[in-house]
Amino acid sequence: MTSIHDIIKDDKRCITENIDEKYQSDVLGRLKGCADTVVFPVSTEEVSRIMRYAWENEIPVTPRGAGTNLVGSTVPQRGGIVLDVSLMNRVLELDEDTMTAVVEPGILLEDFQKYVEARGLFYPPDPGEKQSSIGGNISTNAGGMRAVKYGVTRDYVRGLELVLANGDVITVGSKNVKDASGLSLKNIVIGSEGTLAVITRCILKLIPKPASTLSVLVPYPDIKTGTSSVLALLKGNVGPTAVEFVERDVARLGENFTGTKFPCPSAGAYMILTFDGEPEEVALHIEKAGKIALENGAIDFIVLNDPEQAAEIWKMRGALVKAVEAVSEQEPVDLVVPISKVDAFIQFVGEQEKKSGMQLIRFGHAGDGNVHLCVVRGDRDDETWKRELHDNMVVLYHHAYTLGGLTSGEHGIGLSKRPYFLQETPDSVLRTMRQIKFSLDEKGILNNHKSYLA
Protein backbone atom coordinates (compact mmCIF):
# COMPACT_ATOMS: atom_id res chain seq x y z
CA MET A 1 0.00 0.00 0.00
CA THR A 2 1.32 3.45 -0.97
CA SER A 3 2.31 5.74 1.90
CA ILE A 4 3.15 9.45 1.98
CA HIS A 5 6.82 8.48 2.33
CA ASP A 6 6.63 6.70 -1.03
CA ILE A 7 5.74 10.05 -2.59
CA ILE A 8 8.13 12.27 -0.64
CA LYS A 9 11.15 10.09 0.12
CA ASP A 10 13.26 12.92 1.60
CA ASP A 11 12.70 12.87 5.38
CA LYS A 12 13.42 16.61 5.52
CA ARG A 13 10.44 17.21 3.22
CA CYS A 14 8.07 14.81 4.94
CA ILE A 15 7.73 15.35 8.67
CA THR A 16 5.56 13.04 10.76
CA GLU A 17 7.05 13.53 14.23
CA ASN A 18 7.83 16.56 16.41
CA ILE A 19 5.99 18.90 14.06
CA ASP A 20 6.79 22.55 14.73
CA GLU A 21 3.80 24.49 16.11
CA LYS A 22 4.16 27.16 13.42
CA TYR A 23 2.92 24.65 10.83
CA GLN A 24 -0.20 24.07 12.90
CA SER A 25 -1.24 27.73 13.29
CA ASP A 26 -1.10 31.10 11.54
CA VAL A 27 1.30 34.01 12.05
CA LEU A 28 -0.43 35.12 15.27
CA GLY A 29 -0.09 31.64 16.78
CA ARG A 30 -3.27 31.89 18.85
CA LEU A 31 -5.48 29.55 16.85
CA LYS A 32 -3.90 26.11 17.11
CA GLY A 33 -4.59 22.90 15.22
CA CYS A 34 -3.00 19.50 14.93
CA ALA A 35 -1.33 17.93 11.89
CA ASP A 36 -0.22 14.34 11.39
CA THR A 37 2.18 15.16 8.56
CA VAL A 38 3.81 18.22 6.98
CA VAL A 39 5.02 17.81 3.42
CA PHE A 40 7.10 20.18 1.29
CA PRO A 41 6.57 19.33 -2.41
CA VAL A 42 8.87 20.77 -5.05
CA SER A 43 6.80 20.05 -8.18
CA THR A 44 3.27 19.92 -9.51
CA GLU A 45 3.69 16.17 -9.93
CA GLU A 46 4.41 15.74 -6.22
CA VAL A 47 1.42 17.89 -5.25
CA SER A 48 -0.77 15.83 -7.57
CA ARG A 49 0.41 12.54 -6.07
CA ILE A 50 -0.07 13.86 -2.52
CA MET A 51 -3.62 15.01 -3.28
CA ARG A 52 -4.48 11.72 -4.99
CA TYR A 53 -3.18 9.83 -1.94
CA ALA A 54 -5.20 12.08 0.39
CA TRP A 55 -8.32 11.69 -1.80
CA GLU A 56 -8.13 7.92 -1.90
CA ASN A 57 -7.63 7.75 1.87
CA GLU A 58 -9.97 10.65 2.72
CA ILE A 59 -7.23 12.52 4.58
CA PRO A 60 -7.76 16.25 5.29
CA VAL A 61 -5.29 18.59 3.56
CA THR A 62 -4.44 22.15 4.63
CA PRO A 63 -2.53 24.15 1.97
CA ARG A 64 0.05 26.59 3.28
CA GLY A 65 2.47 29.16 1.86
CA ALA A 66 4.63 31.54 3.90
CA GLY A 67 2.39 31.22 6.97
CA THR A 68 1.62 34.96 7.26
CA ASN A 69 -2.16 34.49 7.34
CA LEU A 70 -3.92 36.39 10.15
CA VAL A 71 -7.30 34.65 10.36
CA GLY A 72 -6.55 30.95 10.84
CA SER A 73 -6.87 29.86 7.20
CA THR A 74 -3.73 27.73 7.56
CA VAL A 75 -4.72 26.02 10.84
CA PRO A 76 -5.22 22.23 10.36
CA GLN A 77 -8.36 21.62 12.38
CA ARG A 78 -8.86 17.94 11.67
CA GLY A 79 -5.31 16.58 11.60
CA GLY A 80 -4.16 15.18 8.29
CA ILE A 81 -1.62 16.75 5.96
CA VAL A 82 -0.27 20.29 5.92
CA LEU A 83 0.83 20.84 2.32
CA ASP A 84 3.50 23.54 2.44
CA VAL A 85 4.45 24.94 -1.00
CA SER A 86 7.20 27.26 0.27
CA LEU A 87 9.91 25.31 -1.62
CA MET A 88 8.07 25.90 -4.90
CA ASN A 89 9.43 29.43 -5.13
CA ARG A 90 10.89 29.96 -8.60
CA VAL A 91 10.26 32.42 -11.40
CA LEU A 92 9.68 30.03 -14.29
CA GLU A 93 9.33 32.54 -17.10
CA LEU A 94 9.39 36.28 -17.76
CA ASP A 95 7.67 37.10 -21.05
CA GLU A 96 8.29 40.76 -21.85
CA ASP A 97 6.29 40.54 -25.08
CA THR A 98 3.06 39.62 -23.29
CA MET A 99 4.06 41.48 -20.10
CA THR A 100 3.52 38.36 -18.00
CA ALA A 101 5.50 36.23 -15.58
CA VAL A 102 5.00 32.58 -14.68
CA VAL A 103 5.91 31.81 -11.07
CA GLU A 104 5.49 29.07 -8.51
CA PRO A 105 3.14 29.77 -5.58
CA GLY A 106 5.76 29.80 -2.83
CA ILE A 107 7.75 32.75 -4.16
CA LEU A 108 7.63 35.67 -1.72
CA LEU A 109 5.95 38.88 -2.84
CA GLU A 110 9.02 40.94 -1.90
CA ASP A 111 11.37 38.73 -3.92
CA PHE A 112 9.11 38.72 -6.97
CA GLN A 113 8.63 42.49 -6.92
CA LYS A 114 12.41 43.05 -6.71
CA TYR A 115 12.96 40.60 -9.56
CA VAL A 116 10.60 42.34 -12.00
CA GLU A 117 11.50 45.89 -10.96
CA ALA A 118 15.17 45.17 -11.66
CA ARG A 119 14.02 44.55 -15.23
CA GLY A 120 11.97 47.73 -15.55
CA LEU A 121 8.64 46.05 -14.84
CA PHE A 122 6.11 46.37 -12.04
CA TYR A 123 3.78 44.06 -10.10
CA PRO A 124 1.40 46.48 -8.33
CA PRO A 125 -0.40 44.42 -5.61
CA ASP A 126 1.13 45.58 -2.35
CA PRO A 127 -0.26 44.02 0.84
CA GLY A 128 1.45 45.15 4.03
CA GLU A 129 3.19 41.81 4.62
CA LYS A 130 5.91 41.64 1.97
CA GLN A 131 7.07 38.24 3.24
CA SER A 132 3.77 36.69 2.17
CA SER A 133 3.74 34.24 -0.74
CA ILE A 134 2.19 34.91 -4.13
CA GLY A 135 0.04 31.79 -3.77
CA GLY A 136 -1.22 33.04 -0.41
CA ASN A 137 -1.95 36.47 -1.89
CA ILE A 138 -4.03 34.82 -4.62
CA SER A 139 -5.82 32.59 -2.11
CA THR A 140 -7.02 35.62 -0.16
CA ASN A 141 -7.20 38.09 -3.08
CA ALA A 142 -4.82 40.34 -1.12
CA GLY A 143 -5.16 44.07 -1.68
CA GLY A 144 -2.83 46.50 0.02
CA MET A 145 -1.99 50.15 -0.15
CA ARG A 146 -1.81 50.60 -3.92
CA ALA A 147 -5.29 49.18 -4.57
CA VAL A 148 -6.85 52.63 -4.95
CA LYS A 149 -5.02 53.12 -8.25
CA TYR A 150 -3.99 49.67 -9.42
CA GLY A 151 -6.57 47.28 -8.01
CA VAL A 152 -6.03 44.04 -6.08
CA THR A 153 -4.34 40.69 -6.71
CA ARG A 154 -7.27 39.39 -8.79
CA ASP A 155 -6.60 42.10 -11.38
CA TYR A 156 -3.09 40.73 -12.04
CA VAL A 157 -3.79 37.00 -12.27
CA ARG A 158 -4.06 35.87 -15.90
CA GLY A 159 -3.99 32.14 -15.29
CA LEU A 160 -3.41 29.36 -12.76
CA GLU A 161 -2.26 25.78 -12.77
CA LEU A 162 -4.29 23.92 -10.17
CA VAL A 163 -4.25 20.53 -8.52
CA LEU A 164 -7.79 19.51 -7.63
CA ALA A 165 -8.77 17.60 -4.52
CA ASN A 166 -8.63 14.28 -6.39
CA GLY A 167 -5.15 14.97 -7.77
CA ASP A 168 -6.18 16.04 -11.27
CA VAL A 169 -4.10 18.88 -12.74
CA ILE A 170 -5.84 21.61 -14.75
CA THR A 171 -4.85 25.00 -16.17
CA VAL A 172 -7.38 27.84 -16.04
CA GLY A 173 -6.88 31.18 -17.75
CA SER A 174 -3.89 31.99 -19.98
CA LYS A 175 -1.53 34.78 -21.05
CA ASN A 176 -4.31 36.28 -23.17
CA VAL A 177 -5.74 39.65 -22.15
CA LYS A 178 -9.33 38.71 -23.05
CA ASP A 179 -11.19 35.52 -22.20
CA ALA A 180 -14.87 34.86 -22.86
CA SER A 181 -14.35 31.11 -23.13
CA GLY A 182 -16.71 29.56 -20.63
CA LEU A 183 -16.72 29.96 -16.87
CA SER A 184 -13.82 31.91 -15.35
CA LEU A 185 -12.59 29.13 -13.08
CA LYS A 186 -9.48 31.09 -12.09
CA ASN A 187 -11.68 33.79 -10.57
CA ILE A 188 -13.59 31.22 -8.53
CA VAL A 189 -10.30 29.99 -7.07
CA ILE A 190 -8.90 33.48 -6.34
CA GLY A 191 -9.92 34.35 -2.79
CA SER A 192 -11.11 30.80 -1.97
CA GLU A 193 -8.52 30.32 0.82
CA GLY A 194 -7.35 26.89 -0.29
CA THR A 195 -10.80 25.31 -0.14
CA LEU A 196 -11.16 24.48 -3.86
CA ALA A 197 -7.71 23.57 -5.22
CA VAL A 198 -3.97 23.81 -4.63
CA ILE A 199 -2.25 26.48 -6.73
CA THR A 200 0.98 25.18 -8.31
CA ARG A 201 1.71 27.79 -10.99
CA CYS A 202 0.64 31.40 -11.51
CA ILE A 203 0.55 33.50 -14.69
CA LEU A 204 0.77 37.12 -13.56
CA LYS A 205 0.20 40.36 -15.43
CA LEU A 206 2.94 43.00 -15.25
CA ILE A 207 3.04 46.68 -16.22
CA PRO A 208 5.93 49.09 -16.89
CA LYS A 209 7.63 50.35 -13.76
CA PRO A 210 6.58 53.95 -12.96
CA ALA A 211 9.34 56.44 -13.70
CA SER A 212 8.82 58.43 -10.51
CA THR A 213 7.23 57.92 -7.08
CA LEU A 214 6.67 60.57 -4.41
CA SER A 215 4.84 60.47 -1.09
CA VAL A 216 3.08 63.16 0.93
CA LEU A 217 2.09 63.36 4.60
CA VAL A 218 -1.06 65.38 5.27
CA PRO A 219 -1.86 66.22 8.93
CA TYR A 220 -5.45 67.01 9.93
CA PRO A 221 -6.93 68.34 13.18
CA ASP A 222 -8.99 65.14 13.64
CA ILE A 223 -9.88 61.87 11.93
CA LYS A 224 -13.31 63.10 10.79
CA THR A 225 -11.80 65.99 8.83
CA GLY A 226 -9.21 63.68 7.33
CA THR A 227 -11.54 60.93 6.18
CA SER A 228 -14.08 63.47 4.94
CA SER A 229 -11.47 64.97 2.62
CA VAL A 230 -10.72 61.64 0.94
CA LEU A 231 -13.68 61.85 -1.43
CA ALA A 232 -12.61 65.32 -2.50
CA LEU A 233 -9.12 64.00 -3.28
CA LEU A 234 -10.45 61.00 -5.20
CA LYS A 235 -12.90 63.14 -7.18
CA GLY A 236 -10.17 65.69 -7.89
CA ASN A 237 -8.61 63.54 -10.64
CA VAL A 238 -5.19 63.58 -9.00
CA GLY A 239 -4.60 59.82 -9.35
CA PRO A 240 -3.10 58.87 -5.97
CA THR A 241 -1.48 55.45 -5.83
CA ALA A 242 -2.22 55.08 -2.12
CA VAL A 243 -4.41 56.93 0.39
CA GLU A 244 -3.87 55.76 3.98
CA PHE A 245 -5.29 57.17 7.21
CA VAL A 246 -3.70 56.94 10.66
CA GLU A 247 -5.01 58.46 13.89
CA ARG A 248 -2.51 60.30 16.07
CA ASP A 249 -2.83 57.81 18.94
CA VAL A 250 -2.04 55.00 16.51
CA ALA A 251 0.88 56.94 15.04
CA ARG A 252 2.27 57.33 18.55
CA LEU A 253 2.30 53.55 18.97
CA GLY A 254 4.09 53.27 15.64
CA GLU A 255 6.62 55.89 16.70
CA ASN A 256 7.39 54.02 19.91
CA PHE A 257 7.74 50.74 18.02
CA THR A 258 9.93 51.94 15.12
CA GLY A 259 11.66 55.01 16.58
CA THR A 260 10.49 57.16 13.65
CA LYS A 261 8.67 60.43 14.41
CA PHE A 262 5.80 61.84 12.37
CA PRO A 263 6.05 65.54 11.47
CA CYS A 264 3.41 67.83 12.96
CA PRO A 265 2.83 65.93 16.25
CA SER A 266 -0.04 68.27 17.18
CA ALA A 267 -2.24 66.74 14.46
CA GLY A 268 -5.17 64.52 15.40
CA ALA A 269 -4.82 62.31 12.31
CA TYR A 270 -2.76 61.90 9.16
CA MET A 271 -3.26 60.91 5.57
CA ILE A 272 -0.31 59.35 3.76
CA LEU A 273 -0.50 59.70 -0.01
CA THR A 274 1.68 58.35 -2.79
CA PHE A 275 1.75 59.43 -6.42
CA ASP A 276 3.58 57.72 -9.26
CA GLY A 277 4.05 58.13 -13.01
CA GLU A 278 6.11 60.46 -15.16
CA PRO A 279 7.83 63.21 -13.08
CA GLU A 280 5.81 66.01 -14.66
CA GLU A 281 2.56 64.15 -14.06
CA VAL A 282 3.47 63.45 -10.43
CA ALA A 283 4.38 67.09 -9.80
CA LEU A 284 1.10 68.29 -11.33
CA HIS A 285 -1.00 65.85 -9.32
CA ILE A 286 0.76 66.72 -6.06
CA GLU A 287 0.23 70.45 -6.63
CA LYS A 288 -3.45 69.88 -7.32
CA ALA A 289 -3.85 67.50 -4.36
CA GLY A 290 -2.23 70.04 -2.05
CA LYS A 291 -4.82 72.65 -2.92
CA ILE A 292 -7.69 70.20 -2.44
CA ALA A 293 -6.38 68.96 0.91
CA LEU A 294 -5.82 72.45 2.33
CA GLU A 295 -9.26 73.56 1.12
CA ASN A 296 -10.76 70.59 2.98
CA GLY A 297 -9.24 71.20 6.39
CA ALA A 298 -5.67 69.93 6.23
CA ILE A 299 -3.23 71.59 8.63
CA ASP A 300 -0.32 71.17 6.23
CA PHE A 301 0.73 69.31 3.09
CA ILE A 302 4.22 67.88 3.58
CA VAL A 303 5.91 66.53 0.45
CA LEU A 304 8.39 63.83 1.48
CA ASN A 305 11.19 64.68 -0.94
CA ASP A 306 13.71 62.76 1.15
CA PRO A 307 13.36 59.09 0.05
CA GLU A 308 14.68 57.86 3.40
CA GLN A 309 12.08 59.86 5.33
CA ALA A 310 9.32 58.59 3.03
CA ALA A 311 10.53 55.01 3.46
CA GLU A 312 10.50 55.40 7.26
CA ILE A 313 6.97 56.81 7.25
CA TRP A 314 5.72 53.92 5.12
CA LYS A 315 7.67 51.42 7.21
CA MET A 316 5.87 52.74 10.28
CA ARG A 317 2.50 52.44 8.53
CA GLY A 318 3.27 48.85 7.61
CA ALA A 319 4.29 48.03 11.20
CA LEU A 320 1.16 49.34 12.95
CA VAL A 321 -0.35 45.92 13.66
CA LYS A 322 2.97 44.73 15.11
CA ALA A 323 3.22 47.97 17.11
CA VAL A 324 -0.14 47.29 18.72
CA GLU A 325 0.75 43.63 19.28
CA ALA A 326 3.89 44.74 21.12
CA VAL A 327 1.69 46.52 23.68
CA SER A 328 -1.19 44.08 24.00
CA GLU A 329 -2.78 41.06 22.39
CA GLN A 330 -5.24 42.29 19.77
CA GLU A 331 -7.64 41.00 17.17
CA PRO A 332 -6.94 42.37 13.66
CA VAL A 333 -9.99 43.37 11.61
CA ASP A 334 -9.95 44.35 7.93
CA LEU A 335 -13.58 44.95 7.03
CA VAL A 336 -14.51 47.09 4.08
CA VAL A 337 -17.24 49.70 3.54
CA PRO A 338 -18.09 51.92 0.55
CA ILE A 339 -15.62 54.80 0.31
CA SER A 340 -18.40 57.30 0.96
CA LYS A 341 -19.18 55.54 4.27
CA VAL A 342 -15.66 55.45 5.76
CA ASP A 343 -16.23 58.61 7.76
CA ALA A 344 -19.56 57.34 9.14
CA PHE A 345 -18.08 53.97 10.06
CA ILE A 346 -15.04 55.50 11.79
CA GLN A 347 -17.39 57.71 13.82
CA PHE A 348 -19.43 54.65 14.80
CA VAL A 349 -16.27 52.84 15.90
CA GLY A 350 -15.40 55.78 18.14
CA GLU A 351 -18.84 55.67 19.70
CA GLN A 352 -18.61 51.90 20.19
CA GLU A 353 -15.22 52.28 21.84
CA LYS A 354 -16.68 54.67 24.43
CA LYS A 355 -19.78 52.55 24.92
CA SER A 356 -17.97 49.22 25.34
CA GLY A 357 -14.82 50.38 27.10
CA MET A 358 -12.71 48.33 24.67
CA GLN A 359 -9.92 50.12 22.80
CA LEU A 360 -10.52 50.05 19.05
CA ILE A 361 -7.49 51.30 17.15
CA ARG A 362 -8.28 52.62 13.68
CA PHE A 363 -6.22 52.97 10.51
CA GLY A 364 -6.38 51.68 6.97
CA HIS A 365 -6.81 52.23 3.26
CA ALA A 366 -9.05 55.28 3.04
CA GLY A 367 -8.84 55.28 -0.75
CA ASP A 368 -10.70 51.98 -1.12
CA GLY A 369 -12.78 51.81 2.07
CA ASN A 370 -10.71 49.06 3.70
CA VAL A 371 -10.82 49.95 7.40
CA HIS A 372 -8.32 48.19 9.67
CA LEU A 373 -9.10 47.89 13.36
CA CYS A 374 -7.05 46.46 16.19
CA VAL A 375 -9.39 45.34 18.97
CA VAL A 376 -7.15 45.56 22.04
CA ARG A 377 -7.35 43.02 24.84
CA GLY A 378 -5.67 45.08 27.55
CA ASP A 379 -5.72 43.41 30.98
CA ARG A 380 -8.88 41.31 30.42
CA ASP A 381 -8.80 37.71 31.61
CA ASP A 382 -9.41 34.94 29.06
CA GLU A 383 -13.15 34.58 29.65
CA THR A 384 -13.82 38.34 29.65
CA TRP A 385 -11.66 38.89 26.58
CA LYS A 386 -13.42 36.16 24.61
CA ARG A 387 -16.89 37.41 25.55
CA GLU A 388 -16.29 41.13 25.02
CA LEU A 389 -14.36 40.59 21.79
CA HIS A 390 -17.25 38.57 20.36
CA ASP A 391 -19.84 41.13 21.51
CA ASN A 392 -17.94 43.98 19.87
CA MET A 393 -17.31 42.03 16.67
CA VAL A 394 -21.02 41.28 16.28
CA VAL A 395 -21.85 44.98 16.60
CA LEU A 396 -19.06 46.24 14.34
CA TYR A 397 -19.56 43.75 11.53
CA HIS A 398 -23.32 44.21 11.58
CA HIS A 399 -22.96 47.98 11.33
CA ALA A 400 -20.51 47.62 8.46
CA TYR A 401 -23.07 45.51 6.60
CA THR A 402 -25.83 48.08 7.22
CA LEU A 403 -23.56 50.59 5.45
CA GLY A 404 -23.14 48.25 2.49
CA GLY A 405 -19.84 46.77 3.69
CA LEU A 406 -18.33 43.29 3.87
CA THR A 407 -16.46 41.16 6.41
CA SER A 408 -13.01 41.24 4.82
CA GLY A 409 -11.21 43.41 2.31
CA GLU A 410 -8.00 41.41 2.01
CA HIS A 411 -7.14 39.03 4.89
CA GLY A 412 -9.85 36.47 4.15
CA ILE A 413 -12.34 34.79 6.47
CA GLY A 414 -10.51 31.71 7.75
CA LEU A 415 -11.61 30.68 11.23
CA SER A 416 -11.57 33.90 13.22
CA LYS A 417 -14.06 35.84 11.07
CA ARG A 418 -16.19 32.87 10.09
CA PRO A 419 -18.97 33.34 12.71
CA TYR A 420 -19.57 36.94 11.63
CA PHE A 421 -19.36 36.18 7.92
CA LEU A 422 -21.86 33.34 8.28
CA GLN A 423 -24.18 35.53 10.35
CA GLU A 424 -24.28 38.37 7.81
CA THR A 425 -24.28 36.36 4.56
CA PRO A 426 -27.63 35.19 3.08
CA ASP A 427 -28.22 31.44 3.20
CA SER A 428 -28.73 31.36 -0.56
CA VAL A 429 -25.24 32.77 -1.12
CA LEU A 430 -23.63 30.34 1.33
CA ARG A 431 -25.53 27.46 -0.27
CA THR A 432 -24.22 28.42 -3.72
CA MET A 433 -20.64 28.66 -2.46
CA ARG A 434 -20.92 25.22 -0.84
CA GLN A 435 -22.35 23.70 -4.01
CA ILE A 436 -19.27 24.91 -5.90
CA LYS A 437 -17.04 23.41 -3.18
CA PHE A 438 -18.88 20.07 -3.35
CA SER A 439 -18.59 19.91 -7.15
CA LEU A 440 -14.79 20.21 -6.90
CA ASP A 441 -14.22 18.39 -3.60
CA GLU A 442 -17.15 16.12 -2.77
CA LYS A 443 -15.15 14.42 -0.01
CA GLY A 444 -14.42 17.74 1.67
CA ILE A 445 -10.70 17.13 2.21
CA LEU A 446 -9.35 20.56 1.18
CA ASN A 447 -9.26 23.10 4.01
CA ASN A 448 -12.76 22.18 5.16
CA HIS A 449 -14.67 24.04 7.91
CA LYS A 450 -13.04 27.35 6.94
CA SER A 451 -14.53 30.55 5.58
CA TYR A 452 -17.93 29.82 3.96
CA LEU A 453 -17.96 26.10 4.83
CA ALA A 454 -20.16 24.50 7.46
Cα(428)–Cα(393) distance, rounded to whole angstroms?
23
The model's pTM: 0.95
What is the tens place of the pLDDT at every residue in 60-118? 999 999 999 999 999 999 999 999 999 999 999 999 999 999 999 999 999 999 999 99
pLDDT for the residue 2: 76
Average of pLDDT values for 160-187? 97
What is the tens place of the pLDDT at every residue in 375-427? 999 999 999 999 999 999 999 999 999 999 999 999 999 999 999 999 999 99
48 vs 251: which has the higher pLDDT:
48
Cα(448)–Cα(438) distance, rounded to whole angstroms?
11
Say if CB 405 and CB 395 are below 8 A apart.
Answer: no
What is the tens place of the pLDDT at every residue in 338-379? 999 999 999 999 999 999 999 999 888 988 999 999 999 999
Q: pLDDT grade, residue 322 (50/70/90)?
A: confident
What is the tens place of the pLDDT at every residue in 283-310? 999 999 999 999 999 999 999 999 999 9
What is the tens place of the pLDDT at every residue in 13-67? 999 999 999 999 999 999 999 999 999 999 999 999 999 999 999 999 999 999 9
* Vertex 196 angle, CA 192 and 201, to 5°: 85
β-pairing, 121-122 with 61-64? Answer: unpaired
β partners of residue 202: 103, 160
Enumerate domains of the chain plus CATH numbers. Answer: 1-209 (3.30.465.10), 212-320 (3.30.70.2190), 328-411 (3.30.70.2740)
Average of pLDDT values for 420-436? 97
> Is pLDDT at 242 greater than 80 in this prediction?
yes
Average of pLDDT values for 198-215? 97
> Is pLDDT at 128 greater than 90 in this prediction?
no
End-to-end CA distance of the chain: 33
Task: Find the Cα–Cα–Cα–Cα dihedral 312, 314, 316, 318, rounded to 10°.
Answer: -140
Instruction: State the SS3 of 104-147.
Output: CCCCEHHHHHHHHHCCCEECCCECCCCCCEHHHHHHHCCCECCH
The residue type of 257 is F
Average pLDDT of the chain?
A: 95
Cα(454)–Cα(442) distance, rounded to whole angstroms?
14
Average of pLDDT values for 222-247? 92
Q: pLDDT grade, residue 325 (50/70/90)?
A: confident
